[in-house]
């Protein structure tokens, strides 16, 4: 049962994070069970896990929907990320090893290839960005910090933010990673924390600008 539940959880979570399931979509247990190839019981368990991660909301009538985050909700998430990932960057800088630094450089080289393509490779950017931040968190060596950040780093808003990046925004993100690498190479925790906080705040404003732009387009279309 645990394996079936895990499989359902991973499948539904991936559908939400990729945007295949959008904010406000109802999550029917029968349809999800068919999609995941499991019975409805593992689906219920998977939905409870996703609800605890704020990816799913349940109504009083016990129906489940993909969570719809307001701009205030998103601002809170990014503010928490800035504080926690800033601290993670400080810890990582103080614990950085040559091996970890080389792995970070290799990952950011992948990001560079993605953002410098004729048409920026959004999926490649997202994969590299996720791996880069995950390795920083791993190097920080704090299980408690990992637990707190786990539900924030891969929220759907991260995916949606990248969908609205222009070439300049992609390249700026890569450049900020380079600044982090410079701080890590010198094991300068203050510098690393400062860069990471700014990196996350800029990402929030990119999302906020896109959100307002899309809202304006929706109003115009109406």
Please name the fold of domain 71-221. Answer: 1.20.120
**Which residue ranges in the chain fall short of pLDDT 50?**
1, 216-222
Tell me, what's the pLDDT at 222?
A: 36
Q: Which residue ranges make up each domain of the chain?
A: 2-66, 71-221
Tell me, what's the pLDDT at 108?
A: 97
Q: pTM for the full model?
A: 0.75
The CB-side HSE value for 198 (13 A sphere, CA atoms) comes to 13
Tell me, what's the pLDDT at 161?
A: 67
Tell me, what's the pLDDT at 220?
A: 34
The DSSP-derived string for 27-50 is --HHHHHHHHTS-HHHHHHHHHHH
> Among all chains, which residue has been given the structure tokens 């945007």?
19
2-66 CATH: 1.10.10.10
**In whole angstroms, what is the distance from residue 92 CA to residue 149 CA?**
15
- How many C-beta atoms surround the C-beta of residue 86 within 10 A? 21
Bridge partners, 58 (sequence order):
64
The dihedral built from the CA positions of residue 217, 218, 219 and 222, taken in this order, carries a sign that is: positive
Tell me, what's the pLDDT at 24?
A: 87
**In whole angstroms, what is the distance from residue 74 CA to residue 125 CA?**
21
């Amino acid at each position: 049962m645990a394996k079936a539940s895990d499989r359902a959880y991973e499948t539904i979570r991936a559908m939400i994070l990729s945007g295949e399931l959008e904010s406000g979509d109802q999550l029917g247990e029968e349809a999800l069970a068919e999609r995941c190839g499991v019975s409805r019981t593992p689906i219920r368990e998977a939905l409870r896990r996703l609800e605890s991660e704020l990816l799913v909301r349940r109504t009083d009538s016990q129906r489940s929907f993909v969570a719809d985050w307001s701009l205030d909700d998103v601002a809170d998430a990014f503010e928490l990320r800035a504080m926690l990932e800033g601290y993670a960057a400080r810890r990582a800088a103080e614990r950085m090893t040559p091996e970890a630094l080389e792995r970070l450089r290799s990952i950011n080289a992948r990001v560079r290839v993605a953002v410098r393509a004729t048409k920026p490779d959004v999926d490649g950017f997202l994969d590299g960005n996720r791996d880069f931040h995950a390795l920083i968190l791993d190097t920080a060596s704090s299980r408690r910090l990992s637990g707190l950040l786990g539900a924030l780093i891969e929220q759907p808003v991260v995916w949606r933010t990248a969908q609205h990046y222009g070439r300049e925004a992609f390249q700026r993100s890569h450049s900020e990673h380079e600044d982090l690498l410079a701080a890590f190479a010198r094991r300068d925790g203050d510098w690393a924390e400062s860069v990471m906080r700014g990196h996350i705040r800029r990402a929030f404003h990119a999302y906020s600008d896109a959100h307002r732009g899309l809202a304006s387009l929706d109003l115009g279309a109406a």
